[in-house]
Chain A
Amino acid sequence: MTTAPPADGHTVTTTVAIARARTRQRSYRPRRAILGATGILIVLLAWEGVSRSGIADARYLPPPTEVIPRLFQVLTIGDFWIAVGQTLGAWALGLGIALVLATVLGVVIGLSPFLRRFTNSTVEFLRPVPSVALIPLAVLLFGLRIEASLLLIVYAAFWQIFIQVLYGVADVDTVAMATGRSYGFSKWQRIRDIVFPTALPYLMTGLRLAAAVALILAITAQLIIGTPGLGAEILKAQNGGQYSTMYALLLATGFLGILINTGARVLERATLSWHQSVRGEAVQ
Chain B
Amino acid sequence: MKKAVVWIAFTFGLPAILISLWWIVTAISPNFFFPNPGEILVPFFETWFGPRLWLDVLPSILRFGVGVVIAMVLGVVIGVVVGLNRDLRSLTEPTFEFFRALPAPVLIPPLLLLIGPNDAMKIFIIALASIWPVLLNTVEGVRAADSVQNETSRSYGIQGFRRVRFQVLPGAAPQIMAGIRQCLPIGLILMVISEMFNTTAGLGFAIIQFQRTFAIPEMWSGILVLGLLGYGVAVVFRIFERRILRWYHGLKDLENAS
The answer to whether A125 and B15 have CB atoms under 8 Å apart is yes
For B, the interface residue count at a CB cutoff of 8 angstroms equals: 55
The yes or no answer to A200 lying at the interface (CB within 8 A) is no
6 contacts between A and B (CB under 8 A): A39-B90, A39-B91, A40-B94, A61-B110, A128-B185, A250-B106
For A, the interface residue count at a CB cutoff of 8 angstroms equals: 60
Known A125-B15, A215-B103, A250-B106; judge A35-B185 contact (CB<8 A).
no
Which among A2-10, A99-107, A130-138, A268-276 touches the partner chain?
A130-138
| Contact residues of B between 92 and 111, Cβ < 8 Å to A | 92-95, 97-110
The answer to whether B189 and A130 have CB atoms under 8 Å apart is yes
Which among A72-80, A113-121, A173-181, A186-194 touches the partner chain?
A113-121
Does more than half of chain B's interface fall in helix, strand or loop, or is it mixed?
helix
**Interface residue from B14, B105, B114 paired with A57 (Cβ < 8 Å):** B114
The answer to whether A141 and B33 have CB atoms under 8 Å apart is yes
**Interface residue from B86, B91, B193, B231 paired with A220 (Cβ < 8 Å):** B193
The yes or no answer to B13 lying at the interface (CB within 8 A) is yes
Q: How far is the CA of A42 from the CA of B223 in the complex (A)?
A: 43
Seen from chain B, the residues whose Cβ lies within 8 Å of a Cβ on chain A are: 10-15, 18, 33, 86-87, 90-95, 97-110, 112-114, 185, 188-189, 192-193, 196-197, 204, 207-208, 210-211, 216, 219, 222-223, 226-227, 230-231, 233-234
Q: How far is the CA of A128 from the CA of B237 in the complex (A)?
A: 12
Could you tell me the distance in whole angstroms from the C-beta of A121 to the nearest C-beta in chain B? 4
Does more than half of chain A's interface fall in helix, strand or loop, or is it mixed?
helix
**Interface residue from B113, B188, B226 paired with A60 (Cβ < 8 Å):** B113
The answer to whether B106 and A38 have CB atoms under 8 Å apart is no
A48-63 contact mask (Cβ, 8 Å, vs B): 1 or 0: 0000000011001100
| Contact residues of A between 120 and 167, Cβ < 8 Å to B | 120-122, 124-137, 139-141
Could you tell me the distance in whole angstroms from the C-beta of A29 to the nearest C-beta in chain B? 10
The answer to whether A231 and B95 have CB atoms under 8 Å apart is no
